[in-house]
């Protein structure tokens, strides 16, 4: 039973370490991204989007263009 317990303990410990590393990496990576602010203006209405990527801003802009007032 001792060898089985050690094997299970090793697998669990490794899994927790990988999980902690993934969490730390995700936290670090989120601080390194370039957060962009995009302002879209149409018919005198301004909308500012914080942290938008260029693809999302283009989708929003094209969606606004399709809306009829």
Residue 52: what pLDDT? 62
- Calculate the CA 44 to chain-centre distance: 31
pLDDT in 10s for each residue of the chain, 69 residues: 688 888 888 878 887 888 888 888 888 877 776 667 778 777 777 777 776 667 777 777 777 666 544
Residue 28: what pLDDT? 81
Residue 69: what pLDDT? 43
Residue 23: what pLDDT? 87
In this structure, what are the phi and psi dihedrals at residue 33, rounded to the nearest 5 degrees?
Answer: -70, 150
Residue 66: what pLDDT? 62
């Amino acid at each position: 039973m001792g060898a089985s317990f050690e094997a299970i303990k090793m697998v669990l410990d490794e899994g927790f370490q990988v999980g902690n590393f993934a969490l730390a990496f995700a936290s670090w990576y989120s601080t390194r991204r370039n957060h962009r602010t995009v302002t879209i203006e149409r018919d005198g209405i301004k909308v500012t989007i914080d942290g938008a990527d260029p693809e999302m801003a283009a989708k929003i802009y094209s969606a606004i263009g399709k809306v009829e007032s």
